A = this chain, B = another copy of it.
Amino acid sequence: MRLVTIDDIRSAAEALRGVAVRTPLLRFDDGLMLKPESLQPVGAFKIRGAYHALSRLAPEVRARGVVAYSSGNHAQAVAYAARLFGVPATIVVPDNAPAVKVEATRAHGAEVVQVPMAQREQRAYELVEERGATLVPPFDHPDVIAGQGTIGLEVVADLPDVEVVLVPVSGGGLISGVATAVKALRPSAKVVGVEPELAADAAASLHAGELVRWPAANRERTIADGLRAQPSELTFAHIREYVDDIVTVSEAEIAAAVGRLARQARLVVEPSGAVTTAAYLKAPTAKTVAVISGGNVDPEVFAALT
């Protein structure tokens, strides 16, 4: 299996210039710097992978439009990127998706198709067939991984003597890209994934040396709603190659980290984005960077955590 390379990531960084925010590292305390991807357009790192994937399509292919199935940050990112390219986006969401997320996706100019949860994937593939559109997967694609990897380039550029990089793990696209970049530029730095205890399938997989599947019902218990997916063969291959460890945090630790980030770093962070800070607070290390993956949290949930 061909893994993404540092050259792929450098090329993605060129494509993303002026589109993704060059997020600064923010000092949290003596040991920790934050990489606040919550400040990206659409409020999450997902814009990097989605925009890069669209940029790699041939213009005549891209013009036929793109499709994504997601109710979360990836959908918004695909919609936002499609608008920048002036091509149609269709987002398939479950019919029980919160109205606020559906509205946000429409606000980016995308067509929203609501179907029962179990039919999402199938309906997305039908749309691809019917329209000649291109599916943009949330993590299982080299162009998406390379886009997310630009975060790793920036981390090492801004903190050349970084020792630990903490990255949230869900489907594994983010950590695959970041780990590829960090290990290429600063091999001695550790790249450590963080998962909720309640959705720790990637940690189990890394420790087992093979993909371990958890039932969706188990993974859906965590408040970190962006971390319920599972790695693919492609992302797991990157994780095995480049990731030093995957650690877990409890629901209470995640909640406490959301509050600390609001008060001490003045950031609105979603629970999924706070897991890396939670891991640091549990076991602080020097010269550490926590990737804050996103900031899309329901105001009521946020208020309850802060």
A: which residues have CB within 8 A of B? Answer: 21-24, 26-27, 36, 38-39, 41, 43, 259, 262-263, 265-269, 295-296, 299, 302-303, 306
Contacts and interface: CB of A to CB of B under 8 A. Distances in A.
A259 B23 CA distance: 23
Nearest to A261: B268
A295 B27 CA distance: 15
A266 B263 contact: no
B266 A269 contact: yes
A286 to B, nearest CB: 18
Given A22-B24, A39-B265, A299-B306, 9 more contacts: A21-B26, A23-B24, A24-B24, A24-B39, A38-B266, A262-B302, A266-B267, A266-B269, A266-B296
Nearest to A43: B266
A39 B36 contact: yes
B21 A21 contact: no
Given A24-B39, A27-B41, A299 B266 contact: no
A299 B262 contact: yes
A259 B43 CA distance: 16
Contacts of A23: 24
5 contacts: A36-B39, A39-B265, A43-B266, A267-B268, A299-B306
B266 A266 contact: no
A259 B26 CA distance: 23
A302 B306 contact: yes
Contacts of A269: 266
Nearest to A296: B266
Contacts of A21: 24, 26
Nearest to A294: B266
Q: Which 9 A-B pairs have the closest CB atoms?
A: A266-B295, A266-B268, A38-B266, A21-B24, A303-B303, A262-B268, A43-B266, A26-B39, A27-B41
Contacts of A39: 24, 26, 36, 265-267
Contacts of A296: 266
Nearest to A38: B266
A296 B266 CA distance: 8
Nearest to A269: B266
B268 A299 contact: no
A56 B148 CA distance: 42
Contacts of A267: 39, 266-268
Contacts of A43: 266
A262 B259 CA distance: 14
Contacts of A295: 266
A33 to B, nearest CB: 11
A150 to B, nearest CB: 14
